[in-house]
Amino acid sequence: MIHKGAIVLGVLIGTAAGVLLAPEKGSVTRAKLKKEGKDIKDQIVKDFSEVKEDVSKAASSGKEKFKQKFGDFASKTSYKTEQAITFVEKQLAILKEKNKTLQKTS
């Protein structure tokens, strides 16, 4: 089993060797690291912007589909309500006729 201290020591030795054996000056290495960091940051910002745009498009599309489906649902509901009202009116007319037969004329 490898001890954690041995791993940390290995990392430190490797880092030190890399700095000591680097073919370029520290300022050049730092400049390269800074440029690479900026490039990575720019790429992340670009990717995030694209994802944000895609999510926005998906939300708009979903919103339009919802409006369309809701409009279709409202229309179907309106037709069904109209049918129900017509049915109730017919039943009321039948009840009204039956009620007339029970009334006595004086």
pLDDT in tens, 55-75: 888 888 888 888 888 888 888
- DSSP letter at 101 equals H
Assessment of whether the complete model's pTM goes beyond 0.85: no
Q: Are 17 and 24 in contact (CB under 8 A)?
A: no
Residue 21: its pLDDT value, please?
67
3-state secondary structure 14-77: HHHHHHHCCCCCHHHHHHHHHHHHHHHHHHHHHHHHHHHHHHHHHHHHHHHHHHHHHHHHHHHH
pLDDT tens for 5-21 read 667 677 767 766 666 66
More confident residue, 18 or 103: 103
The pLDDT assigned to 68 comes to 85
**Going by C-beta distance under 8 Å and a sequence separation of 6 or more, which residues neighbour residue 19?**
26
